[in-house]
Amino acid sequence: FKEEGINLPIKVDIMFDVNCGISKTKNGLYLCIGLFCLRCLSNDELKAVLLHEIAHFKNKDLEYTGKIEKYNKKIDVLFPLRTYIFLCPFLVTSTFDNLLNDYLVNEYFEKKADDEVIKRNMNQDYANATIKMFGLSKANYLKYPFIEYEVAKNKKWDEKTINDDLNARLDYYNAHKDFFEFVSKNHADERFATHPNINQRRKMCNVKDVDLTIKINHFFDDDIKEYYDISNKTCFKEDNKDLLKYYNDYFALKDSNTNDLEQLNKILEMAYDLGDYQNVLRICSKLVSLNDDRNRVNCYYGTILLMVYFNEEGIKYLNKVIEDNNNEFKVDAMRFLADYYAMVGNEEKLNEIRNMQVNILNQSDEMDDVLNLKPTDRLTEFTNEEVKNNIINILKDNADVFYVLMGVKTVKNTSCCHVIVFGEINLKDVDKFNEDLNKVFNYLDVLEDQYSLNSYPINVFKAAPKLFKDSLIVYKKGE
């Protein structure tokens, strides 16, 4: 900063991310920088990234947008599942308003800032850095349940878990390094671009070869240690016994060789939630072999194959989801396919998806509407007696269940059966109630049609008479 003639006070925070951002404060500047930038970029590569951010300030982009730094705001960044409560004191002490990016990240500002880096003859370092950051961002979005479990159990990050987490992300980066370089040569132009993509930046830097080898940068070790020390002091105050129980329940089930569809779907849901990606693939493969070819299975299977391992076999599973009109996974499947085709530069397939987007978004609005209940909704009778009876058999022995309602909500060509369970205000057996609801969920999840499961305390029953009609009751306690 001093080399660039900037002598303002600068506050710097570290975040668990691969990005870097600058904004103005009342008295100076605020810089928020990703942990993985400090660890995985060389000092020259990092300098190139910082010169880009400094250019935003010097070009008066911050003043142009009218966005001034606001203290004590939470940053809206992507963290691995749940780890933000362990990793990021920034959420407690942050001064960075990430909404600033929404105003700064247009191509005009970005290209002007990139030009300033090029003027400093840092083309090679900037090209290396931007491609590395792209690959590291893919690694950073992943979850590592066995590491996260240890952190949750011990209520702290220690030297082992910190190194295990870094090494797991580096292993992933290195395993897919060739793919990241391929993307840097082929990434297609996006319809609504905010930043130049890595293909555009590589061309702008005019470099033939890039060095994507990561050597751990130890220059900032003390700063990173302080970051984790703050995390350990501030981010482990809440009781996490429910989270630990969830992990333990999953670890007890994860390697099951059962052929029971309900049990397999339960394991799949937990594996996908926690980020045990190899187990997601194992369970999906088994479910498909057992002819359990539902949209949830196909979406999870295709997403992990394509977006975690960049395996094009995932395309056929996501296409199966897209071909079925009445399902809530269609929009996600479309988005993941579009992201992948953009990365690999498949313009023909990307345009196919773009041409389908309007209809898909219209259907997504219908799906969102049909899956949610409003007090003014009028449900119609659900007529599948087999499904009714199976749900009743699961819930009839639960002393906390008063009523079960089932009714169909329809919006245009999309419909969903809502299963509504009314229970005691103060449940006598919370675990049993939740266990039986989970059984209902797993049963419904196996069925092809759309279902939604909700539970309410009994005193809510009279709150929406148009919605909770007596004629929709399929089970009453004691009858």
| Residue 302, pLDDT above cutoff 50 | yes
Q: What is the mean pLDDT of the chain?
A: 84
pTM equals 0.74
In percent, how much of the chain has pLDDT > 90? 51
Q: Are 469 and 393 in contact (CB under 8 A)?
A: no
Rounding to the nearest 10 degrees, give the CA dihedral for residues 178, 180, 181, 182. 90
Q: From CA 117, how far away is CA 109, in angstroms rounded?
A: 13
pLDDT in tens, 72-115: 233 333 233 333 333 333 333 333 333 334 434 455 678 888 88
The pLDDT value given to residue 424: 85
pLDDT digits (tens, 9 = 90+) for 133-142: 999 999 998 9
Q: 284: how many CB neighbours lie within 10 A of its CB?
A: 26
DSSP letter at 192 equals: T
Q: Which residues of 208-219 are buried (b: 16+ CB within 10 A; e: fewer)?
A: eebebebeebee
| pLDDT of 21 strictly over 90 | no
The angle at the Cα of 304, spanning 303 to 310, to the nearest 5 degrees, equals 95
Q: Residue 361 above 80 pLDDT?
A: no
What does the pLDDT read at residue 100?
39
Mean pLDDT highest for which of 101-105, 355-359, 364-368?
Answer: 364-368
pLDDT class of 161 with cuts at 50, 70, 90: very high
pLDDT at 160 (0 to 100) = 96
- Residue 75 CA, distance from chain mean position: 15
CA dist 340 and 349 (Å) reads: 10
E strands in 282-361: none
Q: Alpha-carbon Rg of the chain, whole angstroms?
A: 26
Q: Which helix H or strand E contains 229, and what residues bound it? A: helix 221-234
pLDDT tens digits along 273-286: 999 999 999 999 99
pLDDT tens for each residue of 225-246: 999 998 888 888 778 888 899 9
Task: Note the Cα 38 to chain centre separation in Å.
Answer: 23
Average pLDDT on 343-372 reads 74
Q: Look at residues 341, 45, 365, 445 and name the one whose alpha carbon lies nearest to residue 205.
A: 45
Residue 477 is given by DSSP the state T
41 and 132 in contact (C-beta within 8 Å)? yes
- The model's pLDDT over 378-422, given as tens digits with 9 standing for 90+, comes to 899 999 999 999 999 999 999 999 999 999 998 877 788 899 999
